[in-house]
Amino acid sequence: MGTSKNSNDSQKKMPQRHEVTKIHEEIFVILGVLVSWWQKIQVITGTLMKTDRATIHQTISYVCLLLIAITLPFAVSLNSYIINIFALNWLIEGNFSKKFRILIKNKTALLFMSFYVLYIIGLSYTSNMAEGMFVLEKKLSLFVFPFLLSTTVRLKKVRLENILKVFVLACITGAIICTVKAAYQYFVNGDSEQLYYHQLSSAINIHAVYFSCYLSFSIFILVYFLLKKWDTIRNITKISLLFLIAFITVFILLLASKTIIITLFLFANLFVILLYYSKNKIRAGLVIIFSINLALAILFMNMPNTKERFKDVMNLELKVIKEDKYKSWQTQFTGITMRLVFWKYSFEILNENNAWLCGIGTGDGQMHLDNSYYEHNIYTGNIYLGCRGYLGYNPHNQYIQTLLYIGLLGFICLLICLIYPMITSFKQKTYLYLAFLILFAIFSFTESTLETHKGTVFYAFFNSLFAFHYLCNLKTGST
């Protein structure tokens, strides 16, 4: 009996020993995993330790530039936040004496920055200091990007092209989001207005005209890559790029910005002429031009809302411009007559204040325009409806806006900032930069492009990238 009891006890103990052994094995496995992880951490840490501080800052800077390009068509707050990180990284990087020496030698950077400095000087003779500081805040990118990008380590060409690519991707993504939302509203509610103009671009909260400008530049970028790599890319890639160009073109027609549509039409025709003339294939070029224009005409004729927006160009009545007093809300302005009236008032303000040389002041321009609207009985809104009418409307022309605020000195500086890099890019055959400058210059005739975040950052960011990195890469042959 005793033997049987002992035997039973040993049988009970055997499973417990097996369980202990299994636990030990699991512990050893876990320890092995931990040791493996620790070795990997040591390798990563060693790699980071070997990576010099400058390389880390350059990587952060590059990532910020990518994110600035990606977020530009979307939320202003997010885009501003990334710009701040980019500036903060520049500050933490240090080497200020070296950067200052680089800046002083860079005449182009000093030229671009001087335009912003004139607005700072304009504070000295403005009466509305609060508005003046707000104007400086809106335009800060005009100083920040030339200052920072002219003093950072030159980007390799592949990185520059990546920034352009992600900008195109962001714009196409935005266009797809707008298309999906508009199509949904149309099929559910039968509201065709959602397919056009501001209603179409409202899905990503961007002004239709500025989005049209972004998309036009995206077409230029796609054409640039298509021509550059035509002989090396596959046919499916060529077809895909051509499809994207066609999609963006249709979307721009739906956004119905008259200035951008006309500019894109002229660019397309001029580009085809120059391309086929250089290849001595004039007949083929004429056929292509005819085909493109026919396709655009058919699209245009089948877009009633877009066609309607061009009627004020065809039926222009200039007599409304000559009127001294208007009938408030009963007076109907077209896009063109509204601009012409605002331009006239801007010139009158400059005359009345003898401010042609230095302008009316950084903070006083809009105040004087609003006073003119009251004086001439232009509709200034209804407080009970929460409507401000034309109050706060700028001249819708960047050249006149600059002339009004900082005078002929600022106007001439702006022209030099545009024309000088145009000449340089033409001489160096950097036609993408040239196309960007011409697009922005034309766009600025009908919009005060540097009075909004979307316009200021777009110009300052890409202009500085091209001027201080793309042109420099061509000079040095960096790849």
Q: Which domain holds residue 150?
A: 62-315+395-476
Q: Per the domain annotation, does 331 fall within a domain?
A: no
* Region of residue 381 (left: phi > 0; alpha: psi -120 to 50; beta: else): left
Whole-number average pLDDT of the chain: 86
pLDDT recorded at residue 121: 96
Percent of the chain having pLDDT more than 90? Answer: 57
Residue 76 has pLDDT above 80, yes or no: yes
pLDDT tens-place string over residues 320-373: 788 878 876 667 788 888 899 999 999 999 999 999 999 999 999 999 999 999
In a domain, 44, yes or no: no
How many structural domains comprise the chain?
A: 1
Residue with tokens 């400059």: 350
177 pLDDT tier (thresholds 50, 70, 90): very high
Residue 180, helix vs strand vs coil = helix
Q: What is the pLDDT of residues 424-471, one digit of tens each?
A: 999 998 999 999 999 999 999 999 999 999 999 999 999 999 999 887
Do the domain assignments include residue 330? no
Residue 364 lies in a domain: no
Q: Give 241's strand partners.
A: none
CA 319 to each of CA 48, 61, 267, 316, 360: distance values in angstroms, whole numbers, following the listed order: 71, 54, 32, 9, 28
Distance CA 464, CA 97 (A): 21
Note whether residue 340 is domain-resident. no
**Residue 406: what pLDDT?**
97
Q: Is the pLDDT of residue 283 over 80?
A: yes
Query: DSSP class of residue 396?
Result: S
Q: What is the pLDDT of residue 29?
A: 61
The answer to the question of residue 45 being in a domain is no
Per-residue confidence band for 1, with pLDDT thresholds at 50, 70 and 90:
very low
Q: What is the mean pLDDT of residues 256-283?
A: 86
pLDDT in tens, 109-146: 999 999 999 999 999 999 999 999 999 999 999 999 99
Is 266 inside a domain boundary?
A: yes
Reading the block at residue 82, the tokens are 């990334």
Query: Does some domain include residue 8?
Result: no
Is the model's pLDDT at 387 over the cut of 90?
no
Distance in angstroms between the alpha carbons of the first and the last residue of the chain: 91
Altogether, the residues listed in the chain come to a count of 479
